[in-house]
Structure 1
Amino acid sequence: MPHAVIAATGLFTPEQSVSNAELVESYNAWAERWNVAHSDGIAAGELEAKTPSSAEFIEKASGIKSRFVMDKAGVIDPERMAPRIAERGNDELSVMAEMAVAAARQAIEAWGKPVSEIGAVLCAASNMPRPYPALAVEVQQALGIEGFAFDMNVACSSATFGIKTAADFIGGGSVKAVLMVNPEICSAHLNFTDRDSHFIFGDVATAVIVESSDTAGPGGWDVLGTRLKTVFSNNIRNNFGFLNRTERSNQDAGAAASSSEAIGPSDKLFVQQGRKVFKDVVPMVSDMIVDHAGELGLDPHGLKRLWLHQANINMNQLIGKKVLGREPTVDENVIILDEYANTSSAGSIIAFHLHHDGFEPGDTGLICSFGAGYSAGTVFVRKRA
């Protein structure tokens, strides 16, 4: 029976980047204006003054130093505190599809085969521009791919869930190759007026081609096994959706960030209970990795490299230590969130795409994601000859 092979990957990185210093300057300017505007309430004890942030606080809390964004000007504008992403007409390629297509074309070029051999397109991401038509179908059309396509959203774990789905299609004989894309404009769901989370996310797109071992050429990565897990939790949540009714357009809502309202109630944007997430997710993911490795007959201590979801450097370091049974080296536990920040579904794929060198045939590694839901996915891979 054929098994799945990760044959190629691609990466689209926005041209614009925001440093911690730039983000802090913007936030502090907004906070100062907010405090002045609400000075009476603060003096009366009805409101709490907004606390300034610092680049040092951000890096210590997260390991993030900068992030790529689709629109820098809107993000660092104290009068707006939200990206400006112009709405496109229905006859134009959407922004997120454009990002996905760029990453996909890079993967297809590296793959070296015609798109006619791809039988399915999956768009696995946290952030979608609309309920329908599916972004995956738009990408499929833009690339001239036959077959079928659909979207799937499992928050930050979407990519590993997508790889698992692609591997199952291949194992069942439905298709010979699957293109999976992970476009993320995370800056659009982030509350840039929240000191505890305004620094977390960045924008990016990744792509993965998963192919049948029957048709795969030399190189690439055998998928040894995949496992998925979900446990419901409200500790990471975003309540914004097409059922929400607002009195502002999306353009006007961003401008309201200079007030206390931002885009409606704060839970209509990203919100999390960070300490609870850390306490719950680290043991859940660590145990899942070790258990899955044992089921596959692998020694987790012998993994050459971990490509973990890029959420928080403290989480990644602790998971790496628990899995490898010792303090991992920088080469063993890849960290890219210092430059990219948290890019939701794309994080582990960015890490894999940029840092898969130095493997000999037979060496094993792990692609792993975890996030809201809670959700987690493990994909063990072995370098092919």
Structure 2
Amino acid sequence: MTVVISATGLYTPPYTISNAELVASFNAYVERFNAEHAAAIAAGEKQALLPSSVEFIEKASGIKHRFVLEKDGMLDVERMVPIIPERPNEALSLQAEVSVAAAKQALERAGRDPMDVDAVICSCSSLQRPYPALAIEVQNALGAGGFGYDMNVACSSATFAIQNASDIIRAGHARSVLVVNPELCTGHLNLRDRDTHFIFGDAAVAILVERADMAPPGAWAILGTKLQTRFSNNIRNNFGFLNRGDEAHRDDPDKLITQQGRKVFKEVVPMVSEMILQHMAELDLKPSDLKRLWLHQANSNMNRLIAERVLGHEASQEEAPTVLDTYGNTAGAGSIIAFHLHSNDFKAGDRGLICSFGAGYSAGSIFVQKSA
């Protein structure tokens, strides 16, 4: 049975933060920290913090700008945490709200009514709560039928969910599955850490996965999906219900995202490149068969090397477009944002690759072909 991506949707938050704004806030914190602990630093009891810079951020990541749900709290040196008030149980949760916005756009682009949806999968790097499932809340808010459940596979959440949706359809349990990926990453970003304070932005995407016989014209046939995981502590976040509390969340770096960036780079690039090449061989595809790679938007240097290993030459912006410079790292949403914004020029028969990779380690590749 042929399964397709009928449409995608994108929610972009209302606020932006430039590298210059982020650096100004971080450096003010560094200056204050070093002054307050000057004696301990001089005695060798504490290590002085190093300032950040726009040049450092762009060289390390390729990020120039990001969209965020809340700006003031992030830049406030007294706080450096987004100000996101908790909502009552009767109100739509924040992740459900942005998911619904992205979902409505995807449904409209496919000409689909919410009641046509048989299942909803909410898959993202950090879930707002354990239960009830956000997917069920989104299902209810849209007026969709069937069932829903949540998933978490870090930055590979969207691609893993697309394979799940495809499997559900092929098994005959649904004809139309809506995948939502609400990545509100700034909530667990450590804005006091020079190596990570610039990484994440916020966004939400939706992907409508359906049987080909009910899909609209111009849908994307899924030629194949492949998933891979390999355990690593090099990207980690230990915050959870067993160590709850606002103070733990704000002041303990272990309860926010931590990563060993150089180790991640060294280990993930070959892992992902080899997985893609193996998947291509299984599908009897050659690099020349691919018009575009929509890669996970985590680091521009990683994407450049992965694309070069897959294509056999340095990729152009057209062959491997980036949204990292504008959106920052949006975890599982990144490759889908790239696909959403850079796929309108495809003609029937054109092929491409959606690929994500992240903590776990986890990686997912999805080869697609534009339908007539």
TM-score category (smaller protein): over 0.9
| Structure 2 partner of 1:199 | 198
| Paired residue secondary structure (1:184) | strand
Which of 323, 333, 347 is the matching residue for 1:346? 333
Letter in 2 for 1:144: G
Return 34-43 or 16-25, whichever deviates more: 34-43
| Structure 1 partner of 2:364 | 377
Give CA deviations for 1:129-167 in whole Å, capped at 9, x if unaligned: 111111111100000011000000000000000100000
Which of 344, 347, 351 is the matching residue for 1:360? 347
| Alignment check: 8 A CA contact 1:182 1:345 kept | yes
| Paired residue secondary structure (1:304) | strand
Quote the Cα distance in structure 2 between the aligned partners of 1:318 and 1:234.
23
Give CA deviations for 1:276-334 in whole Å, capped at 9, x if unaligned: 00011000000100110110111134310000110000000000000000011100001
| Alignment check: 8 A CA contact 2:110 2:216 kept | no
| Aligned counterparts, 1:294-313, within 5 A | 294-313=281-300
Letter in 2 for 1:286: S
| Paired residue secondary structure (1:214) | helix
Quote the Cα distance in structure 1 between the aligned partners of 2:217 and 2:62.
37
| Structure 2 partner of 1:17 | 16
Letter in 1 for 2:69: M
Cα deviation, residue 262, structure 1: 7.0
Letter in 2 for 1:287: E
1:263 aligns with 2:250: yes
Letter in 1 for 2:281: G
Task: Give me the TM-score of the superposition, normalised by structure 2.
Answer: 0.98
| Alignment check: 8 A CA contact 2:4 2:219 kept | yes
Letter in 2 for 1:55: V
| Paired residue secondary structure (1:130) | coil
Quote the Cα distance in structure 2 between the aligned partners of 1:127 and 1:86.
17
| Structure 2 partner of 1:127 | 126
Quote the Cα distance in structure 2 between the aligned partners of 1:143 and 1:126.
22
Query: CA 1:262 to 1:104, structure 2 compared with 1: closer, same or farther past 3 Å?
Result: closer
1:169 aligns with 2:156: no
Quote the Cα distance in structure 2 between the aligned partners of 1:353 and 1:374.
25
| Aligned counterparts, 1:1-385, within 5 A | 2-246=1-245, 250=246, 253=247, 263-385=250-372
**Could you list the runs of 5+ residues in structure 1 that have no partner in the other structure?**
254-260
Identity %: 61
Letter in 1 for 2:87: R
Quote the Cα distance in structure 1 between the aligned partners of 2:64 and 2:252.
28
**Could you list the runs of 5+ residues in structure 2 that have no partner in the other structure?**
none
Letter in 2 for 1:325: G
Cα deviation, residue 181, structure 1: 0.4
| Paired residue secondary structure (2:281) | helix
Regions of 4+ moved over 2 Å: 261-265
| Alignment check: 8 A CA contact 1:177 1:212 kept | yes
Task: Give me the TM-score of the superposition, normalised by structure 1.
Answer: 0.95
Quote the Cα distance in structure 2 between the aligned partners of 1:263 and 1:156.
22
Quote the Cα distance in structure 2 between the aligned partners of 1:96 and 1:182.
9
Quote the Cα distance in structure 1 between the aligned partners of 2:9 and 2:333.
11
| Alignment check: 8 A CA contact 2:249 2:256 kept | no
Query: CA 1:280 to 1:194, structure 2 compared with 1: closer, same or farther past 3 Å?
Result: same
Cα deviation, residue 200, structure 1: 0.2
Quote the Cα distance in structure 1 between the aligned partners of 2:27 and 2:287.
44
| Alignment check: 8 A CA contact 1:3 1:167 kept | no
Quote the Cα distance in structure 2 between the aligned partners of 1:322 and 1:269.
33
| Alignment check: 8 A CA contact 1:120 1:179 kept | yes
Quote the Cα distance in structure 2 between the aligned partners of 1:32 and 1:59.
22
- Give the total of aligned pairs: 372
| Alignment check: 8 A CA contact 1:191 1:270 kept | yes
Letter in 2 for 1:279: K
Letter in 1 for 2:129: R
Pairwise CA RMSD: 1.0
Query: CA 1:87 to 1:8, structure 2 compared with 1: closer, same or farther past 3 Å?
Result: same
Cα deviation, residue 245, structure 1: 4.1
| Paired residue secondary structure (1:90) | coil
Quote the Cα distance in structure 2 between the aligned partners of 1:3 and 1:86.
44
Quote the Cα distance in structure 2 between the aligned partners of 1:228 and 1:293.
13
| Alignment check: 8 A CA contact 2:72 2:82 kept | yes
| Paired residue secondary structure (1:356) | coil
